Amino acid sequence: MRVEERGQDGGLRLTHTADATYRVETTQSVAGLVDAWYTLRGWVRSSGGQVEASLALGCGGAEARVAVPATVPGYRWIQLAVSAQATDGVCTVSLRSFGAPDSWLSLDGLTLTPGRAALSILGADISSLAKSEDFGGVYKAADGTPGDALQILRDGGLNYARLRVWVDPADGYHDQAEILTMANRLAPLGIKLLVDFHYSDNWADPGKQNKPAAWEGLDVAQLEQAVYDHTFAVCSALAAQGTPADMVQIGNEINAGILWPDGDYNHFDTLAALLTAGSRAVTDASPSTRVMLHIAEGGDNEMARWFFDNLTRRDVPFDLIGLSYYPFWHGSLPELQANLIDLSTRYDKDVLVAEFAYAFTVLDDDGFANIASRNLIVDGYLFTPDGQRRMLRDVMAIVRGVPGGRGLGVFWWDATWTAVPGNGWDTQDPGSGNGWENQALFDYDDVALPALVEYLNP
Q: Tell me, yes or no, whether 91 and 151 share the same domain.
A: no
Domain count, the chain: 2
The DSSP result for 383-395, as a single string, is SSHHHHHHHHHHH
**HSE of 427, CA atoms in CB hemisphere, 13 A:** 15
Q: Could you list the residue range(s) of the whole structural domain that residue 47 is in?
A: 2-114
Q: What's the pLDDT tens digit per position in 279-319?
A: 999 999 999 999 999 999 999 999 999 999 999 999 999 99
Given 81, 114, 147, the domain boundary residue is 114
Which whole number is the average pLDDT over 138-150?
98
- pTM > 0.85: yes
Cβ pair 241, 183 in contact under 8 A: yes
Q: Tell me, yes or no, whether 90 and 183 share the same domain.
A: no
91 pLDDT higher than 80: yes
17 pLDDT higher than 90: yes
Q: Tell me, yes or no, whether 56 and 146 share the same domain.
A: no
Cβ pair 59, 33 in contact under 8 A: yes
Q: Tell me, yes or no, whether 110 and 148 share the same domain.
A: no
- Pairing, β 121-125 against β 247-250: unpaired
Residues with catalytic roles: 253, 355
Which whole number is the average pLDDT over 20-27?
95
**β-sheet bridge partners, residue 45:** 106
Q: Tell me, yes or no, whether 34 and 144 share the same domain.
A: no
CATH number at residue 159: 3.20.20.80
Q: Tell me, yes or no, whether 163 and 246 share the same domain.
A: yes
Q: Tell me, yes or no, whether 323 and 450 share the same domain.
A: yes
Given 67, 86, 114, the domain boundary residue is 114
323 pLDDT higher than 90: yes
- Pairing, β 104-114 against β 37-46: antiparallel
Predicted local confidence at residue 9, as pLDDT: 86
Q: Tell me, yes or no, whether 87 and 151 share the same domain.
A: no
Q: Tell me, yes or no, whether 225 and 92 share the same domain.
A: no
Q: Is the peptide bond before 244 cis (omega within 30 degrees of 0)?
A: no
Q: Tell me, yes or no, whether 377 and 444 share the same domain.
A: yes
73 pLDDT higher than 80: no
Percent of the residues in the chain that have a pLDDT greater than 70, as a whole number: 100
Q: How far apart are CA 303 and CA 163, in angstroms?
A: 26
Q: Tell me, yes or no, whether 220 and 86 share the same domain.
A: no
Question: Taking the CA atoms of the chain, what radius of gyration do you get in angstroms?
Answer: 23
Q: What's the pLDDT tens digit per position in 183-222?
A: 999 999 999 999 999 999 999 999 999 999 999 999 999 9
Q: Tell me, yes or no, whether 27 and 63 share the same domain.
A: yes
CATH number at residue 16: 2.60.120.260
Average pLDDT, the chain: 96
Given 65, 82, 114, the domain boundary residue is 114
Burial class (CB in 10 A: 0-12, 13-18, 19+), 267: middle
Predicted local confidence at residue 189, as pLDDT: 98
